[in-house]
Structure 1
Amino acid sequence: MEPIIAIALALIGYALGSAKLITQGNEALVERLGKYHRTLKPGLNFIVPLVDQIVVEDTLKEQFTDIKPQNVITKDTIYLEVDAILYWRIRDIEKSFYAIDDLEGALVQLATTTLREIIAQHTVEETNLSRADMDKAILDQLNETTTSWGVDILRLDIQRITPPESVRKSMEEERAAEIKKRALISEAEGERQAAIKKAEGTKTSMQIIAEALRSHPESRDILRYLVAQDYVQASQKLGESNNAKIVFVDPANSTEMFQELIAESVNQESPNKNGGNGAG
């Protein structure tokens, strides 16, 4: 019985030593006598004890690496502090283990160097405005190298671009000046539109009054009364102002001047209407 027990125990030990469970999302590399033999997939796998050895088990899930703040110089020779996050994933675990030593450290160094190269091709203003374009350019350049490492760079997100204090102050002043400029332009445009509307309203009022006087000459006395009333109201408003300078104008003269303007409007409209009647 003892030899049988010994054999059974040996078989159990061999089974336990040869069985390897790989979790979902991971893969493992097996070397046989110091040389790559095969890749273990998720699930239950068996190897030959003492001959086969698992040298690495790694995840194929998406990973991220923080790129610490780096001092970079722009095209217009301004020093910036830039930090980013690199997202990547192992595509081929064999290449990632045998093609590069210290994969994550290599990715950090490569991303940092590429980030500096891309930013050096842009000015400070371009760096702030075209951040998405820079991310894509960095991503394309990184994947050209990391493909041979069995790694896919998924994206690189630039978190912060911090210019020197003097540059930040200058940019803030420039933005404030631009906002003030737009406000002044909007105000001037509003005043222009208001002046146009007022002129159009005055013109329409003159036309209506001229037509009324032409059709009903007896309404001239009413018009004189309205002009005098407006004159009195305007004088009262001027008197209420502390800084106002009151200039007295003869209402009779102002009425005559107003009548002359109306007469001109009537004369301008009459030929048009008479010509229209003659054509009819």
Structure 2
Amino acid sequence: MEPLIAIVLALMGYALGSAKVINEGNEALVERLGRYHRKLTPGLNFIVPLVDTIVMEDTTREQILDIKPQKVITRDNVYLEVDGVVSWQITNMERTFYKIEDIQLALANLSTVELRAYIADRTLSETISSRNEMNQSLLQILNEISAEWGVRILRVDIQSITPPESVQKSMAEQQAAEIRKQATISTAEGERQAAIKRAQATKESIQILSEAMSSKAETKEILRYLVAQEQVEVSQKLGASTNAKIVFLNPSLTEGALDQMIGETGTHEGNNNGSEKNSL
């Protein structure tokens, strides 16, 4: 009876030792007598105890590699501090295990080397303005090399590009100067448009006034009123200014100018009436 129990226990121990459960999202590699034998997939798997050995179990899900801040130099000899992240995934676990000793260390070193090489070929301005292009270029280069390791690079994201403090100050001053330049251009354009509108309004006012002068008998009185009103407004503005100088205008000059304008208007009107009579 005892030998039977011993056999049963041995069989149970063998079964338990040969059963291996692989979690979802993972894979495992099995070696038999020191040589690669097969790959275990998620679920219940069986191996031969004492003969088969699981040498690696890892995830096939997306993983994140943090690129620590790196000191790099641009083509125009500006030192920058750059950091980022790389998203990667194991696609061939056999290659990952047998082709490279430490896949994460290899990816970190490769990313750093390619990042330095990329920035070394570009100026500071090109580096800062082409972050998306940098991400795509590094993604392509890393994939070409990491494919041999059974790894696919999903994304490269350069998170920060930090110039020295002196360079940051210079960039801020340049940006402020550009903002002032644009503001000056906008102000000048606004003044130009306002001047055009004022000139148009003046033209229309002169046309209306000319029509009124040709059709009203009280032309002189209207002009005197308008001129007097304008003089009052100008005097008020001059009085309100701290830097204004008081200038007295000789009223006789205004009267003479008005009489001349009215005389010319009357002459034009008389000529027009005479022409109409002759035509009749």
In the superposition, the TM-score normalised over structure 2's length comes to 0.90
Question: Which residue pairs with 2:35 in the alignment?
Answer: 35
Question: Which residue pairs with 1:93 in the alignment?
Answer: 93
Q: Percent identity?
A: 59
Number of residues of Structure 1 aligned to a counterpart in Structure 2: 270
Aligned residues: CA RMSD:
2.2
Asked if 1:68 is matched to 2:68, the reply is: yes
| Deviation sequence 1:176-199 (CA, Å, 0-9, x none) | 111111111111111111111111
For 2:155 and 2:259, the matched residues in 1 are separated by 79
Checking the alignment, whether the CA contact within 8 Å between 1:30 and 1:54 is kept in structure 2 is: yes
Q: 1:33 to 1:254 in 2, by over 3 A?
A: farther
For 1:162 and 1:97, the matched residues in 2 are separated by 37
Question: Which residue pairs with 1:193 in the alignment?
Answer: 193
In the superposition, the TM-score normalised over structure 1's length comes to 0.90
Question: Which residue pairs with 2:232 in the alignment?
Answer: 232
Secondary structure of the corresponding residue to residue 118 of structure 1: helix
For 2:122 and 2:163, the matched residues in 1 are separated by 14
Q: Which runs of 5+ in 2 are unaligned?
A: none
Pairing 1:214-225 to 2, within 5 Å after superposition: 214-225=214-225
Checking the alignment, whether the CA contact within 8 Å between 2:146 and 2:153 is kept in structure 1 is: yes
Task: Give how far 1:228 is off.
Answer: 1.2
Secondary structure of the corresponding residue to residue 148 of structure 2: helix
Task: Give how far 1:252 is off.
Answer: 4.3
Asked if 1:152 is matched to 2:152, the reply is: yes
Q: Which runs of 5+ in 1 are unaligned?
A: none
Secondary structure of the corresponding residue to residue 158 of structure 1: strand
Checking the alignment, whether the CA contact within 8 Å between 1:228 and 1:251 is kept in structure 2 is: no
Tell which deviates more after alignment, 236-245 or 32-41. Answer: 236-245
Checking the alignment, whether the CA contact within 8 Å between 1:227 and 1:255 is kept in structure 2 is: no
Question: Which residue pairs with 1:250 in the alignment?
Answer: 250
For 2:96 and 2:65, the matched residues in 1 are separated by 16
For 2:47 and 2:242, the matched residues in 1 are separated by 103
Question: Which residue pairs with 2:207 in the alignment?
Answer: 207
For 1:48 and 1:133, the matched residues in 2 are separated by 51
Q: 1:126 to 1:11 in 2, by over 3 A?
A: same
For 2:259 and 2:41, the matched residues in 1 are separated by 102
For 1:46 and 1:197, the matched residues in 2 are separated by 90
| Deviation sequence 1:201-221 (CA, Å, 0-9, x none) | 111111111111112243331
Task: Give how far 1:241 is off.
Answer: 2.2
Question: Which residue pairs with 1:83 in the alignment?
Answer: 83
Task: Give how far 1:260 is off.
Answer: 6.4
